[in-house]
Structure 1
Amino acid sequence: MNVVTEDRRELLSSLVRHLVGMASAKRLAEDGFIIAFHSKSSVMIGQALAKAYLGASYSQADLADQN
């Protein structure tokens, strides 16, 4: 059983296009981390990933845009 603790969080940016990153997310979630996914444009995939992990979230933003 996975135990989610409030002090174990991880942001995975631009993850949705990278299989290595998705494998990392799976492992971190298995280890009890709360995952926050981010991407600039792959909203549907990011939202689906967030739904797949307990407590996970997804945010869409262009981090290069300083405005």
Structure 2
Amino acid sequence: MLFVALLTPPETLTQRETARGDRPLGSALQDHAKIHSGLRYDITLDGTADPKGNAHLILNALADPRPRSAFFTA
């Protein structure tokens, strides 16, 4: 198991939320402020990076031996 954080800058979240048009404006920023609080991740990815590159990072992390997921120690 791998606990993955996908972090995206607030300005990018707002731009994406506006473009989607299917959720109340400002909800992405509210979620951004709360969702990662107090959590520990095994790997942190950039939400503005190339999705294929992020997928490659996840696959590499899964291939490496590692201790029990940080999810269970938060």
Superposition TM-score, scaled by structure 1 size? 0.28
User: Is the helix fraction higher in 1 or 2?
Assistant: 2
User: Is the strand fraction higher in 1 or 2?
Assistant: 1
Q: Which has the larger radius of gyration?
A: 2
Superposition TM-score, scaled by structure 2 size? 0.26
Higher relative contact order (CA 8 A, sep 6+): 2
